[in-house]
Amino acid sequence: MEYRLLGRSGLKVSVLSLGTMTFGGQGKFAKTGQTDVEAAKRQIGLCLDAGVNLFDTADVYSGGESEVILGKALGSKRHDVLVASKARFPMGEGPNDRGSSRHHILRACEASLKRLNTDYLDLYQLHEWDGLTPLEETLRALDDLVSSGKVRYVGVSNFSAWHVMKTLGVADANHFIRPVSQQIHYTLQAREAEYELLPAAQDQGLGVLVWSPLAGGLLSGKYRRNQAAPEGTRHLADWGEPPVRDESALYDVVDVLVDIAEARGVSAAQIALAWLIARPQVTSVIVGARNDTQLQDNLLAAGLTLNNEEIERLNKVSQLPLLYPYWHQAQTAPDRLSAADLSLIAPYLKK
């Protein structure tokens, strides 16, 4: 297992980490999995044996049950690993039971610590943007949590690039704790993060944690062109995260994934994960699994290195169109582009 620094911090995290949305399986989260404490212990054991040191959860997962199960499953191993959680989404019916206000963030953190049966969180993340709460209020609350020792590092998730940059600017201007990472959705099927989120991360020294790296199973190889979806899985028309806007383009990507996987004698899921791990801005890829077999397969991706030809095939079949102002920059400013600019634009420049 490889370990990478989380942004500009001194904290090292494994290139694969375990997401625990499947823990609990209550309410709308039941469709992702129904992992109980005993199953969670087995999955955590598999991860520890593979060298995984980061476990990611959120208060909203199964109404807090994911945190409860993770805490019980880790037990005495808690201080040997890194635990990340998140807050922002509704945890009650009241008007202040959601958002990133000081009121909600401080209460949410205390509740997460209690459910996880721990004194601190290694990484505490804003789960989504809150456009109503002043960032000064949110960041001061996070700063106080770090000062009190209840949180070690803070991050953001599902922010746009201007949200990220505003957050960093407000933190720097007020000498508040600065987020060290962003957790984003980024896959071969959905590469929109390359437009601004990944260049911003590279420019600002942010770590990048990737959620749902197999696009909710779309890139696992189970879904093929002109074939019925496996029983018990979602239909593409009902897919929400991520949305499938071009089914033909999705299957073009899957065809290449499966072709490379068959030549390698591995799963398509491992190829998709290995592609992400190889992306220069990515710090850790968060995997989750309904069962031990899926998890064992995913963990093998940590030891899989794609060659240049394989990476180029995957890049080409999944490449997005260059939007404005980037096509204009590619045409008129190629001599004055930074490394962060080139992380997006370089593949489009004429040789």
Report, as residue numbers or ranges, the catalytic residues.
61
- Could you tell me the end-to-end alpha-carbon distance of the chain, in angstroms, rounded to an integer? 36
| Rounded Cα distance, 101 and 70, in Å | 26
Cross-strand partners of 123: 84, 153
Contact by Cβ (8 Å): 65, 20? no
Determine contact, residues 284/201, Cβ cutoff 8 Å.
no
- Collapse the DSSP code of 222 into the 3-class scheme (helix H, G, I; strand E, B; otherwise coil) and give the result: coil
Using N-to-C axis directions, what is the helix angle for 135-147 and 161-174, rounded to 10°?
60
DSSP summary character for residue 179: P
Tell the burial category of 107 from Cβ atoms under 10 Å away from its Cβ (0-12, 13-18, 19+). middle
DSSP string, 269-330: HHHHHHHHHHSTT--EEEE--SSHHHHHHHHGGGG----HHHHHHHHHHHPPP--TTHHHHH
Question: Angle of helix 37-50 relative to helix 65-74, nearest 10 degrees?
Answer: 60
d(CA 164, CA 115): 29
Q: Give the CA radius of gyration of the chain.
A: 20
Q: Number of helices (H) and strands (E), helices first, in the chain?
A: 12, 10
